[in-house]
Structure formats: C-alpha cells, structure tokens
Amino acid sequence: MQSDDPHASQIEEICRTLIDCKINIGFTVTLKSGEKLSGEIDDCNIVGNCMENILYPIIEEKIPTFKKGPPGQKPDFINLDHDYELKCFKNGPGFDIGSITGFLEDISKPGGVQKKLNVKYLIFEYEIINKETKISNFWMLSVCDICCGYGGKKPINIGGGKGVNIRPATSNQWTTSKKRNPTNFLDRIEELIKSDYYKVDESEKQQKLESIRNQRNELEF
C-alpha cells in the first residue's frame, strides 16, 4: 500500500542508503579506579534496539518533522501523524508484529483498521561479520505486505513462545505474493478472531468481528 505521508518516499530513500553500511556497536566501562575498559558488541539481540537510536538522527536531520514515538510504546517513529515501526532481523524474519490480543484489540477500535493498514514498517536485514553489523537489505512495507504468507492450520503466521504473537511471512514473499492486499489480510484477521488462538469469550469475538466488518464496508476492503 502506498503511504499518504508526503515524506514517505524520502524516508525510504534515506533508509536504503544504509544498505551495505557497516555498524560497530561498542561499550565503555569505567571502573572505580578510573580505569576504562572498552570493546565491541556482536550480540544480534542488541542490534534492533540500537538501530532505533542510529536511524532516528539520520532521518531527522533531513526531515525535521520526523520524531520518536512515546518511550516503550508504539509506534517507534511518527512523521506528520503517520506511524513508522522499525524491525530488524538476521537469518530470516522472526520478529513480532504484535501480540494476538493486543493487535486485535487495536484493529477493532473505531478507525483501527485504517490505522493499522497505514503503519509503515522500516525493515532492515543484517549480518554480523567480524563483530561488524552489515546492513544487507531494506524494505518499507505495510502489514498486509509482510503478513502475506498463509497456509496450514493457522489462519495467519503465528509464533513466539506458546504461539501468542503475529509474525511475518518469509521475506521473499513480501514483494512477490499475490496475497499482498488489505482484503486478504483482513480476511485472515477475521479467521484469527474466530479461531482458538484468540482466547476470549464468544461475545467479545463477535464484537470485534462486527467492528472490523463495519470498518471494512466503509473502506471497501
């Protein structure tokens, strides 16, 4: 889906300039004696958190309206009321889109369908070579682009612990799958609500379905 953020294409272009760049993530420890110890970190679990701090000033310098989101909450970034989420992965996209309960709660709120579809995900693929983090690829996509791989018994890609989080499809499907559209994504969301993966009572399920279907009719999805 195209974004109605007038700066979306510029944000995407800025992010693409980071492909093939190498990032060194270091630390400095000052002991009580005053002695300082320093080194480099190659833990892939830290890269995603660090990328938020790395990416923000790069974009904000060229787009002053680009701001950080509320601490510890979604979205990661906001530009002119348009939401952006940052995701990073190594060796296959295993990141979470959100918990099943939280995502369905948000998307079923008034205006929630349009809001979720409008979020742009800034996705960086990376590899770690000799303690250097190298950005190998980048995508700027909507949730219906990255949650497009369906199959098996699950209504949508689910993972994380006991299967409580919505997960993306494989990256090769993000730009090739014919299922990359709001209608198909929302069909899967409705199936998820009706499934045993969404553990609420039947009346709440029906309320969520009614809200989403009403919004779909208004949006013609």
In tens, the pLDDT along 15-33 reads 999 999 999 888 899 999 9
pLDDT top residue among 182 and 162: 182
HSE-CB for 59 with a 13 A CA cutoff? 27
Top-tier CATH class for 8-219: alpha beta
44 pLDDT higher than 70 = no
Percent of the chain as helix, strand, coil, to the nearest 5: 35, 25, 40
- Measured CA to CA, the distance from residue 122 to residue 141 in angstroms comes to 7
Tally: H helices and E strands in the chain: 7, 11
pLDDT at position 47: 80
The mean predicted confidence, pLDDT, of the chain is 91
Domain range summary for the chain, segments of one domain joined by +: 8-219
Contacts within 8 Å (CB) and 24+ apart, 9-17: 10/62, 10/63, 11/59, 11/63, 11/66, 11/79, 11/84, 11/120, 11/122, 11/140, 12/140, 14/58, 14/59, 14/62, 14/63, 15/55, 15/59, 15/122, 15/124, 15/138, 15/140, 16/138
108 pLDDT higher than 70 = yes
- pLDDT digits 0-9 by tens, 138-153: 999 999 999 887 666 7
- Indicate the pLDDT class of residue 45, thresholds 50, 70 and 90: low
Highest mean pLDDT among 103-112, 129-138, 152-161: 103-112
Mean pLDDT of 114-130: 94
pLDDT at position 43: 67
With beta carbons less than 8 A apart as the criterion, state whether 117 and 143 touch: yes
- Indicate the pLDDT class of residue 123, thresholds 50, 70 and 90: very high
1 pLDDT higher than 60 = no
